[in-house]
Amino acid sequence: LKEENAILRSKINKLQILSETQADKMRKLEKKLEENKIKEEKEAQDLEAMVQHVEQNLQLMTKRAVKAENSAAKLRQENVLLQAELRNSKLENEALRASQAGLAMAKQNAEVALQHLLQVTTSSRASIRQLLSGAESLQLVADLLKSIDKISEVSEDGQ
């Protein structure tokens, strides 16, 4: 009976040691699980912050593009008005040539109108280039947002 008790005690000790080992493993796994949860939460927060930053940039670029479009539209209107002014100046110039009176003044007016028109045309071209650049930036941001969506879909599938 003593021998049987000793064997049973030995088995109990082994089982206690095994139980403690398994409890240690369980604690380590729980700790690792908690660390992984914290890491995933941080990554999710970082991703959200990046998405918000991209959205803010997109809104800013959209505002700039709208402003550039409005500016380009105003410059086009001014260009039309200046072209009409140039046509009027040319008609006036022709009338002055026909009457031979004030020819020098008409040439000067036409030259001033032409220089003004050239300045506006140059300015219009620069605004249109800026508008195109803004549109390309918006396309880049749209492509980046598509990539972020794909990354988040892959992350969700990988869970």
d(CA 36, CA 103): 87
* 103 pLDDT higher than 60: no
- Cβ contacts of 142-148, under 8 Å, gap ≥ 24: 142/58, 144/54, 145/51, 145/54, 145/58, 148/47, 148/50, 148/51, 148/54
Whole-number pLDDT of residue 35: 96
**Distant-in-sequence, close-in-space partners of 100: CB < 8 Å, separation ≥ 6:** none
pTM > 0.75: no
Whole-number pLDDT of residue 102: 57
Confidence of residue 44 (pLDDT cuts 50, 70, 90): very high
* 98 pLDDT higher than 60: yes
* 96 pLDDT higher than 70: no
**Distant-in-sequence, close-in-space partners of 131: CB < 8 Å, separation ≥ 6:** 65, 68, 69, 72
d(CA 150, CA 147): 5
Across the range 99-115, mean pLDDT stands at 75
